[in-house]
């Protein structure tokens, strides 16, 4: 069992980091928050150039790893686009992306993105999105659904894991910015990073982040290996990521 991503996936992730920075970096999300309807035009060109929509995440293990690395890079820059949901799209439905939703008040961060969305519940009930209610913070909109079938159990793990890779990228950036801040900021003539209390807090945060990193790699391997426990592994990752965030 090899949990670490392959060299090709890692390099792809590094290329994505550079591409998102060149496309605007932090300014992308600021622009999208002001004009949610432009999310597609802001992120789409960079993703197309990276070949994101050519990745076969359901049958090719190498491309599943590449998708995870891409999601992590997107999270690092808080790319204002539902990339993980697009990559998790079902192959047997006429849909551009897949959103894992709750049984009550289903919602997704898809406001401003005009695509054909499918949803799946933890129990495997699949639906088609036929409308959106006014969006709230973080581009999240409540969804109006039309039922399709109950054959989506196999879709749930992938639909949970890829967004967690996006969140992992956000945690990477948060740690990087925090370390830079406490190294530069001074108090009583010393950088904050010199104080033991700050060091303890940074250590705790890094333990949380590295824990999510390990679980994300394990859950991805579990999906690629076709393990029957893949959904359990995905749920464990989701809980860990939420707690770390």
**What's residue 81's pLDDT?**
98
**What's residue 145's pLDDT?**
98
Which of the listed residues 152, 187, 203 is the one where a domain comes to its end? 152
Q: Per-residue pLDDT averaged across 217-236, rounded?
A: 97
Q: Within 10 A of 46 (CB to CB), how many other CB atoms are there?
A: 22
Q: Using DSSP, state whether 178 is helix, strand or coil.
A: helix
Looking at residue 233, which CATH number applies to its domain?
A: 1.20.140.10
Number of domains forming the structure of the chain: 3
**What's residue 189's pLDDT?**
80
Tell me, yes or no, whether 69 and 144 share the same domain: no
Q: What values do phi and psi take at 151, rounded to 5?
A: -105, 25
Tell me, yes or no, whether 146 and 195 share the same domain: no
* Domain presence at residue 2: no
Q: Per-residue pLDDT averaged across 13-25, rounded?
A: 98
Q: Per-residue pLDDT averaged across 128-151, rounded?
A: 94
* Domain presence at residue 17: yes
Tell me: pLDDT of 1 over 80: no
* Domain presence at residue 1: no
Convert the pLDDT of each residue in 65-114 to its tens digit. Answer: 999 999 999 999 999 999 999 999 999 999 999 999 999 999 999 999 99
Tell me, yes or no, whether 24 and 78 share the same domain: yes
Q: Using DSSP, state whether 78 is helix, strand or coil.
A: coil
Tell me, yes or no, whether 171 and 205 share the same domain: yes
**What's residue 193's pLDDT?**
81
Tell me: pLDDT of 2 over 80: no
The answer, as to whether pTM is greater than 0.75, is: yes
Q: Within 10 A of 151 (CB to CB), how many other CB atoms are there?
A: 14
Tell me, yes or no, whether 207 and 185 share the same domain: yes
d(CA 6, CA 39): 30
Convert the pLDDT of each residue in 180-225 to its tens digit. Answer: 999 888 888 888 887 888 899 999 999 999 999 999 999 999 999 9
d(CA 244, CA 218): 17
Tell me, yes or no, whether 17 and 77 share the same domain: yes
Pairing of strands 141-149, 107-108: antiparallel
d(CA 163, CA 101): 13
* Sequence-ordered list of residues with C-beta below 8 angstroms from that of 146, at least 6 positions apart, any chain: 127, 128, 130
Which of the listed residues 61, 86, 111 is the one where a domain comes to its end? 86
Tell me, yes or no, whether 167 and 234 share the same domain: yes
Domain that holds residue 226: 154-244
Tell me, yes or no, whether 81 and 17 share the same domain: yes
Tell me: pLDDT of 132 over 90: yes
* Sequence-ordered list of residues with C-beta below 8 angstroms from that of 136, at least 6 positions apart, any chain: none
Terminal-residue alpha carbon distance, the chain: 28
């Amino acid at each position: 069992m090899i949990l670490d991503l392959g060299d090709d996936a890692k390099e792809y992730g590094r290329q994505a980091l550079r591409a998102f920075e060149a496309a605007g970096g932090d300014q992308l999300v600021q622009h999208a928050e002001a004009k949610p309807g432009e999310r597609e035009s802001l992120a789409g060109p960079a993703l197309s150039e990276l070949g994101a929509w050519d990745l076969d995440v359901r049958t090719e293990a190498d491309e599943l790893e590449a998708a995870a690395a891409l999601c992590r890079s997107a999270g690092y820059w808080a790319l204002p686009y539902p990339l993980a949901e697009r990559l998790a799209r079902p192959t047997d439905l006429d849909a551009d992306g897949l959103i894992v939703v709750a049984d009550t008040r289903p919602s997704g961060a898809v406001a401003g993105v005009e695509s054909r969305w499918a949803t799946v519940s933890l129990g495997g009930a699949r639906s088609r999105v036929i409308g959106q209610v006014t969006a709230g913070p973080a581009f999240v909109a409540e969804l109006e659904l039309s039922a399709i079938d109950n054959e989506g159990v196999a879709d749930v793990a992938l639909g949970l894991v890829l967004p967690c890779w996006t969140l992992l990228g956000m945690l990477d950036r948060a740690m990087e910015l925090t370390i830079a801040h406490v190294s530069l900021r001074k108090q009583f003539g010393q950088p904050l990073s010199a104080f033991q209390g700050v060091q303890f807090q940074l250590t705790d945060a890094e333990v949380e982040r590295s824990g999510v990193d390990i679980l994300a790699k394990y859950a991805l391997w579990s999906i690629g290996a076709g393990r029957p426990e893949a959904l359990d592994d995905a749920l464990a990752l989701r809980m860990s990521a939420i707690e770390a965030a």
